[in-house]
Structure 1
Amino acid sequence: MRLYIKLCSDNDIILPVSYTHALQAIIYRHLPEDKAEWLHNEGFKYEKRRFKLFSFSEILAKGSYDKKFKKLKFPKEVSIAITSPIGWILEKLATNLTQKGFINFCGTDLRIQPIDISDTPSFENGCADIKMLSPMEVHTTFYSRNDKKFTKHYNPFDDEFISLINENLKKKWEICFKEENFPSPIKIKPLFSYRDKDNFKRILKFRKGSELTIIEGWKGYYHIEGDPRVLNLAYEVGLGSRNSGGMGMWELKKQ
């Protein structure tokens, strides 16, 4: 299940280039305080890992970049999508956002229009062409002899890319269904050429205190194949890593 939320303003909407952290904060602020604190600090555990089991899209509207002010400019009406396999997350969000009627997004008050609640497709054919609504990302972390951390990102043409996607999905499967019998790995094929891949690369930067994190993610269109139950989960929870940071959300490609 997912929510499509339409946001309106009397003027063009001006946002910083890195607005995903603000969107994530809005989600936590509109959950009950105890549940938001638990989800942020604890989450759903898998061994030493913790998953939030939600994701959200980039702004679903065409914007422009203002070079002078280094800001993004969007039209007066935009939408965002939020997805999760956990019913209470979306139910609480929909209720609280509807009751409030507006959000403050990076200093701008935006009116919330009636929220559209969308069911998950069946994927009965076991395949689909998809469009990424936020960048898809996987990585591995290495440490040098002096304990300096290095992160290696992968692109959709790397063998490691789909392998890490499936490792991540398997963990989410075991959390959601309480069983280790992961049906089968999925396959993902870019619907663009290796030569053109840099057109779909997105470099994102996040700063937490003095630490700067650089993330390499991938937009674009893909063909996906797999067990319908796994595709269903991937649709609801997102593909790859950092889903709760606004990564890995997708939808069916429009025909």
Structure 2
Amino acid sequence: MIYRHLPREIGQPLHDGVYWQSQRPLKLFVFSQLHGEVRYRPGEGVEVTGPVWFRFASPERDLALGLAAGLLRFGRIRIATLDFAVREIATLALPALEERLVVRALSPITVYRTLEIKGKRRTQYYNPLHEEFGELVVANLRRKASVLGVEGREGTVRVQALSVHPRGKRLECYKGTWIEGWVGRFLLEGPAEYLRLALEAGLGAKNSQGFGYVEEVKADADARANAREAGRR
């Protein structure tokens, strides 16, 4: 979906994982799930009844501008088996960042380890209650920062789940493989440069497959969410 709308000089090296120089292929962009008049039906797909939107972010300005230009030029976008007309593209300013940021996931955050058990390799996913979840999110963020030359103080980045419920678990099928991820609200603490990177490149793994897009939860929206939660108790 993303690559075909980019200029070839950007899309091809990005697809091949060589746009940024790193030991492992790295694609520093992220996009959210569809939001708006859409309903997700586990195991069945999605039902779209009206206008929908998604968000895209990257620390590379040319990449974001190239995608916007491509979408406007083509005027249509195909997502899975659905065709959409592009009606509007808008840019969002990053919030003023300090060293604490509350975010919510607009697409599931996934982290995992590949383990070998009895001679067989298996993927172990972690949920936000596991200590490894935060450790792997931070390690992934540090790797992105290293590739981009973003400097931050060692040992000062932390991820804490604030509001994650069992219903926040998501199982997404990507090219025949089921991937486990989680949505909810999280507290990020660390240098502002790292928090900016979380917003621009996503949290966790598989960002270029649509995992880990997060946005700031503003204080007034957070208060309303807490009030709704209290009212349900």
Question: Fold conserved (TM > 0.5)?
Answer: yes
The gaps in structure 2 that reach 5 residues or longer are: 222-233
Corresponding residue for residue 143 of structure 2: 171
Asked if 1:142 corresponds to 2:115, the answer is yes
Partner of residue 182 from structure 1, selected from 124, 147, 152: 152
Deviations 1:93-140 (A, max 9, x none): 11121122222334544221231012222212x212211010011111
CA RMSD of aligned residues (A): 2.1
Corresponding residue for residue 52 of structure 1: 27
5 Å matches for 1:115-130? 115-124=89-98, 126-130=99-103
Tell me if structure 1 keeps the 8 A contact 2:37–2:50. Answer: no
Change (3 A) 1:66 1:220: closer
CA-CA distance at 1:167 after TM superposition: 1.0
Change (3 A) 1:100 1:189: same
Change (3 A) 1:107 1:72: closer
5 Å matches for 1:1-255? 26-43=1-18, 44-47=20-23, 49-64=24-39, 70-124=44-98, 126-144=99-117, 146=119, 148-177=120-149, 181-184=151-154, 185-192=156-163, 197-207=165-175, 212-254=176-218, 255=221
Alignment TM-score, normalising by the size of structure 2: 0.84
Percent identical: 31
The structure richer in strand per residue is 1
C-alpha separation in 2, matches of 1:170 and 1:65: 33
Tell me if structure 1 keeps the 8 A contact 2:37–2:51. Answer: no
Deviations 1:185-223 (A, max 9, x none): 422222236xxx32111112223xxxx422110101122
Deviations 1:54-96 (A, max 9, x none): 00000012533569x9342123211010010011111111112
C-alpha separation in 2, matches of 1:200 and 1:172: 26
**Structure 1 stretch displaced more, 99-108 or 74-83:** 99-108
Tell me if structure 2 keeps the 8 A contact 1:201–1:216. Answer: yes
**Structure 1 stretch displaced more, 154-163 or 184-193:** 184-193
Alignment TM-score, normalising by the size of structure 1: 0.78
CA-CA distance at 1:39 after TM superposition: 0.8
Tell me if structure 2 keeps the 8 A contact 1:54–1:237. Answer: yes
Q: Which has the bigger relative contact order, CA under 8 A and spacing at least 6? A: 1
Tell me if structure 2 keeps the 8 A contact 1:61–1:75. Answer: no
Tell me if structure 1 keeps the 8 A contact 2:41–2:47. Answer: yes
**Partner secondary structure for residue 84 of structure 2:** strand
C-alpha separation in 2, matches of 1:66 and 1:218: 16
Q: Quick one: which amino acid aligns to residue 206 of structure 1? A: Y
Change (3 A) 1:226 1:108: same
The gaps in structure 1 that reach 5 residues or longer are: 1-25
Change (3 A) 1:156 1:108: closer
Counting matched residue pairs gives: 217
**Partner secondary structure for residue 63 of structure 1:** strand
